[in-house]
Each structure stands twice: as C-alpha cells, then as structure tokens.
Amino acid sequence: MDLAKLVTVESGVPVLSGLSAGIGGSLLLGRLFGSLLYDVKPSDPASLFGAAIVMLVAAALAIAAPARRAATIDPMVALRND
C-alpha cells in the first residue's frame, strides 16, 4: 500500500501546483479578458471553484489507475523486469 501512496503523492503534487498556478493566472489575466465575458465576472468564485473541482476529479481518475496497478504488483517482480 505504501507504493500506491507514493504514486498518488508524486502524481498529485504537479496537479495541485498546476491548479494553483492556473487559478492564479486566471485571476491575473481575468481583467484583460473581462470584456469578452458575458454576465460573468472574471473572478467569479463559483466558476473558479467549479473548474477546479472538474480538474481535480479528472486528475484523481487519471492517478487512480496507475496507483492501483502499483499496489498490486510485487516490487521484486517489477525490479527484475526492468
């Protein structure tokens, strides 16, 4: 189970850093593109939160399969094959 945790953490760190960079970039660039948005503020919390949730769910689904696979493989067998 430790191997699955390692895979999850090593995959989750770039996801969370990218998510924070994306939210920060959207807040900074929101003023620039604010005139193109119709009836939505550039810093609308519901839109930012909704987009962040969708990205986190997609990343969790993408991380789950390799983590599950890593948990089922015997480490000695994996090292022998490499």
pLDDT tens, position by position, 22-60: 999 988 888 888 777 777 787 788 888 999 999 999 999
Residue 37 confidence (pLDDT): 75
User: What stretches of 34-74 show up as alpha helix (H) in DSSP?
Assistant: 45-72
Helix (H, G, I), strand (E, B) or coil at 29: helix
Residue 48's closest CA among 60, 57, 39, 40?
40
What is the average pLDDT across 11-28? 92
CA distances from 23 to 8, 29, 33, 61, 76 (A): 22, 10, 15, 21, 41
